[in-house]
Chains A and B, each alone.
Chain A
Amino acid sequence: MMEGKLEPLLAVRDLSATFHRHGAPSRVVDGISFDIAPGESVGFVGESGCGKSVTARAILRLAPEGSSIELGGRILFRGQDLLRLDAAAMTDIRGRDIAMVFQDPMSSLNPVLSVGAQIDDMLIRHTGLSRRAARRRAIELLDLVGIHDPASRADDHPHQFSGGMRQRVLIAIAVSCQPALLIADEPTTALDVTVQAQILRLLLRLRRELGMALMLITHDFGVIAGMVERVHVMQAGAIVETGAVDALFAAPRHPYTRALLDAVPRLETGGLDSTAGPA
């Protein structure tokens, strides 16, 4: 639609990621390129281990602790190559310009700090607000993500929140500095189906209200539909098909995309094949 005209917010060119473990290199992302325009929402779909999470983490230059990962290619954010920034400049970009929401809300919050304090830290770090002003803003943010009675909930600790509520808190932390790009890595996988829908609706609303671009990573086509404008299908570290979400659903061209779509259980065909197996 409009992505052709706008200067891309994020332009990834020939990105590769290679893990070095026990001397044997293994290339998990193999030369992928894509653009994300300001305010655009893009989905990345693929099975576990196809490299979609590594791609997301590469943009923030986050490597799994204890592993050594080598990134190649270019990641241009507003024309600036993130792979060539020094560590301090990269830390400034994280959270302020690009933020991320992770898969498991149960373990992604610090269990010994109140949720308010965790939002405060973030605001103080990036905006230089005083602790009191940061707390006022933190309460607004908790309200924005749909936490009831945010003023008193801000002093509660993560264990006093349900999984869905914790994911809302994590989203509040991620959007607290109004980043230009929000990366959501399987944001609903660890949640109940009903809560999933609420979280997705929240992400959609925030994207619209804050004008963020959204990079949504999932293995679930059901999550992608209605959430994003364009989809990249990944397999074995490469993008095998790209398209507008409706067109891709209607007429997948790549056999892998078709296989992925066929893997989604459908009501009209009786869902999972119940006749399979012996007896």
Chain B
Amino acid sequence: MPASMPACRMSDVARRPTRRPRTTAQVLVTVGLVMLAVLIAVALFGPSLAPYNPTRTSPASLDGPTLAHWLGTDSIGRDVLSRLIVGGRATLLITFVAVAIALAAGLILGLTSGYIGGAVDLVIMRALDVVFAFPVFLLAIAVVAALGPTLPNLILTIAVVYTPTMARVVRGPVLSVKRWDHVEAARSVGIGEFTIAVRHVLPLVISPVLVQTSLTLANTIFTVTALSFLGLGPPPPDPNWGSMLAEARQFMELAPLTVIGPSLAIVFASLTFIVLANGLRDVLDVAGR
């Protein structure tokens, strides 16, 4: 072994196996968070960021990309970029609210089911299985078609569709954590069952739930835009990514940017959450624990 071996070598070798995967994951999370910040900024400040009024028509229809209209105009002369920016708001609002409801319902149902167990577990999980058995789209289309394509209906439907997944992701680790020693120790000194469930079990199952939430957000973006594409989204003339795609489809050859624009926006939004989910999974080491 040469005596001139650099001094830093030892620490490099010691660090490499633990540090490298960690930094990749941290980069993913950082990138995901930056993308998320962009999305949230667009959703919050969309109307003031957009260069034109997204619903104002003009004679210049299907105008190719110009300096005035970066992504061109649609079939009735509305600025595509402005519609994209403002339309993101509706899509993201539905997505965030629906997933927040699904998350809350999933936490409550999954924790109750897993912690109490027995007959309660059986009833809750079988009820959720019924919802789970339906294909997401079929159920969403049926409910929205039956109750009408209003914003609350759309949000509620998507929330219901994703609740079983959330509840299962919560329930699984609850089943194991509730048998851990610290739970019995807490019980042995008179801590009540509700406090144990919320304070001593729930915090320990949060990592997989965070990852699942991020993945569900990605899926929900697709579901929301697909439903809007099929005409079951928020009613016109307010823009959203799904309905923009549906309208632009017929003029795809004349003005490809009117299709590419919303498509890229959808990809960007779902990619945000997929990147975030992958990063979080590695940082929180969900599989490893």
Question: Which positions in A face B, CB cutoff 8 Å?
Answer: 60, 62, 64-66, 91-96, 99-100, 102, 104, 107-113, 121-122, 125-126, 170, 173-174
Closest to B178 in A: A65
Contact among B181, B182, B188 with A95 in the assembled complex (CB-CB below 8 Å): B188
Query: Are B184 and A110 neighbours in the complex by a CB distance under 8 Å?
Result: no
Query: What 8 pairs across the A-B complex have the smallest Cβ distances?
Result: A95-B189, A95-B190, A94-B190, A107-B181, A108-B185, A65-B179, A100-B188, A112-B203
Residues of chain A lying within 8 A (CB to CB) of residue B192: 91, 125
Given contacts A102-B185, A108-B185, whether A126 and B179 have CB atoms under 8 Å apart is no
Report the minimal beta-carbon distance from B237 to chain A, rounded to whole angstroms: 49
**CB <8 Å contact, A102 and B200:** no
- CB neighbours of B199 from chain A (8 A): 110, 113, 121
Q: Out of A65, A66, A109, A125, which one reaches B185, CB within 8 Å?
A: A109
B186 at the interface (CB under 8 A from A): yes
Nearest-neighbour CB distance to chain A for B124, whole angstroms, equals: 18
Task: Please state if A125 and B191 are interface contacts (CB–CB under 8 Å).
Answer: yes
Q: How far is the CA of A233 from the CA of B206 in the complex (A)?
A: 45
Q: In the assembly, what is the distance between CA of A170 and CA of B188, in Å?
A: 11
Q: In whole Å, how far is B187's beta carbon from the nearest beta carbon of chain A?
A: 6
Contact (Cβ within 8 A) A111 B182? yes
Contact among B179, B182, B189, B195 with A100 in the assembled complex (CB-CB below 8 Å): B189
A121 nearest in chain B by CB position? B191
Q: Mark B40-63, 1 if CB is under 8 A from A, else 0.
A: 000000000000000000000000
* Contacting pair B204 A111 (CB below 8 A): yes
B226 within 8 A of A: no
Give the residues in chain A near B187, CB-CB below 8 Å: 62, 94
With the chains together, A229 CA to B184 CA distance in Å?
29
Q: Does B108 contact A (CB under 8 A)?
A: no
Within 8 A of A (CB), among B138-194: 178-192
Number of B residues near A (Cβ < 8 Å) is 21
Q: Which residues of B contact A (CB under 8 A)?
A: 117, 178-192, 195, 199-200, 203-204
**Known contacts A102-B181, A107-B180, A108-B181; is A62 also within 8 Å of B190 by CB?**
no
Across the interface, which residues of A come within 8 angstroms of B188, CB to CB? 60, 62, 94-95, 99-100, 102
Q: Which A residues touch B190, using CB under 8 A?
A: 91-96, 122, 125-126
Please measure, in the bound complex, the distance between the C-alpha atom of A64 and the C-alpha atom of B181, giving whole angstroms: 10
Residues of B within 8 A of A62 (CB): 184, 187-188
Measured CA separation A95–B79 after assembly (Å): 68
Q: What separation, in Å, do the CA atoms of A165 and B259 have in the docked complex?
A: 64
Q: Contact at A170–B185, with CB atoms within 8 Å?
A: yes
A178 CA to B280 CA in the complex, in Å?
44
CB pairs A–B below 8 angstroms (22 shown): A60-B188, A65-B178, A65-B183, A91-B190, A93-B190, A95-B188, A95-B191, A100-B189, A102-B184, A107-B180, A108-B185, A110-B182, A110-B186, A110-B199, A110-B200, A111-B182, A111-B204, A112-B204, A113-B200, A121-B199, A122-B191, A173-B185
Residues of A within 8 A of B191 (CB): 95, 121-122, 125
State the CA gap A117–B187 with chains docked (Å).
Answer: 16
Expressed in whole angstroms, the Cα–Cα distance for A121 and B183 within the complex equals 14
Tell me which of A65, A66, A96, A113 has the highest count of chain B C-beta atoms within 10 A of its own C-beta: A65
Neighbouring B residues of A108 by C-beta, 8 Å: 181-182, 184-185
Q: In whole Å, how far is B54's beta carbon from the nearest beta carbon of chain A?
A: 46
> CB-nearest residue of chain B relative to A60?
B188
Q: Which residue from chain A places its CB closest to the CB of B181 in the assembled complex?
A: A107
CA distance A96 to B186 in the complex (A): 13
Query: Within 8 Å CB of A65, what residues of B?
Result: 178-179, 183-184
Beyond A65-B178, A104-B181, is A173–B203 a contact (Cβ under 8 Å)? Answer: no
Distance between Cα atoms of A53 and B236 in the complex (Å): 69
Among A96, A99, A108, A113: residue with most chain B CB under 10 A = A108
* A93 to B188 CA separation, bound complex (whole angstroms): 9
Task: Please report the C-alpha to C-alpha distance between residue A96 and residue B192 in the assembled complex, in whole angstroms.
Answer: 13
Other A-B contacts than A65-B183, A110-B203, A112-B203, 20 sampled, CB-CB below 8 A, are: A62-B187, A65-B178, A65-B179, A91-B192, A92-B190, A93-B190, A94-B188, A95-B189, A95-B191, A99-B189, A100-B188, A104-B181, A107-B181, A108-B181, A110-B200, A113-B199, A121-B191, A125-B190, A125-B192, A170-B185
Return B50 CB to nearest CB of chain A, in Å.
44
With contacts A107-B182, A108-B181 taken as known, whether A121 is within 8 angstroms of B195 at the C-beta atoms is yes
Shortest C-beta distance, A26 to chain B (Å), equals 20
B189 x A174 contact (CB < 8 A): yes
| Residue in A99, A108, A110 whose Cβ sees the most chain B Cβ within 10 Å | A110
Contacting residues, chain A, for B179 (C-beta < 8 A): 64-66
Bound-complex Cα distance A91 to B117 (A): 20
Q: Which residue on A lies nearest to B189, using beta carbons?
A: A95
Closest chain B residue to A104, Cβ basis: B181
**For the complex, what is the distance from the CA of A126 to the CA of B204, rounded to whole Å?**
25
Listed residue (B184, B199, B200) with the most chain A CB atoms within 10 angstroms of its CB: B184
Q: Which residue of B lies closest to A99 (CB)?
A: B189
Please name all residues of chain B whose beta carbon is closer than 8 Å to the beta carbon of A100 when the two chains form the complex. Answer: 185, 188-189
Taking CB as reference atom, which chain A residue is nearest B183?
A65
